[in-house]
Amino acid sequence: MTNTQLSGYLGMKPSQVRKTFDSVRDAFEEVGLSRDISLSLADLFQYGSIPANYDHYLKELDAVHLLVEEGGMKVRHAEMIVKSRFYDPWVMLKAAANKSIDMPLPAEFEALVLDAADKRIALIRDSKTEKEAALAKARKTIDALVSPLKIAERELSTLEPWTLAGTQPGDIQGRVTKILELLGEAD
């Protein structure tokens, strides 16, 4: 679309449209994509709706490298952030476009992309720490259960078969109670 067509669609002045989309057009041309701004990109700018080929744009504009360089992230974290879209999609596209043609990044890049990415990474780290703590507690409980279960197994194996058939329920119940008490102490 031309700037005039986009300005009519977006309700902006042609000069504002040019200022908004020229760096994206130049970046698309630089990486071999069509210079034309589609309606889906205009909708991304205006409404935040993600176009079908958004991931392709970010891949061509090397958004992962942008996050690694500017955000100081590990590559796997940057790849996860790009795929997860826990950021403002227009600002990310605009920043990747500006970076590919060596223009300054948008002013809101740090607040809307890097801060959101840092929060997501921190959330994942906290979740991982909680899982490790729960796993350690479960391991302690299992270790505490091994010895009492072996003792109970030994004691139950010495009972006569007629005892297990129910003629002496008090003995079996006493041993089960003992196991339950030991389980309670393991917590």
pLDDT, position 35: 84
**Residue 182: closest CA among 147, 153, 156:** 147
Mean pLDDT across the chain, nearest whole number?
A: 83
pLDDT, position 36: 84
pLDDT, position 49: 83
- Token output for 141: 């409980």
Whether the per-residue pLDDT at 59 is higher than 70: the answer is yes
pLDDT, position 79: 92
Predicted confidence band at 169 (pLDDT cuts at 50, 70, 90)?
A: low
Tell me if 38 sits within 8 A of 44, measured CB to CB. Answer: no
pLDDT, position 157: 63
> Token pair 């929060």 is at which residue?
119
pLDDT, position 131: 94
pLDDT, position 161: 60
Give the start-to-end residue ranges of the domains of the chain. 3-106, 126-186
Predicted confidence band at 128 (pLDDT cuts at 50, 70, 90)?
A: very high
Indicate the range of 100-104, 140-144, 171-175 predicted with least confidence. Answer: 171-175
Indicate the range of 51-55, 82-86, 153-157 predicted with least confidence. Answer: 153-157
pLDDT, position 75: 92
Whether the per-residue pLDDT at 114 is higher than 70: the answer is yes
Q: Which residues contact 165 (CB under 8 A, 6 or more apart)?
A: none
Whether the per-residue pLDDT at 186 is higher than 70: the answer is no
d(Cα 125, Cα 112) in Å, to the nearest integer?
Answer: 20
Predicted confidence band at 38 (pLDDT cuts at 50, 70, 90)?
A: confident
pLDDT, position 68: 93
d(Cα 96, Cα 65) in Å, to the nearest integer?
Answer: 9
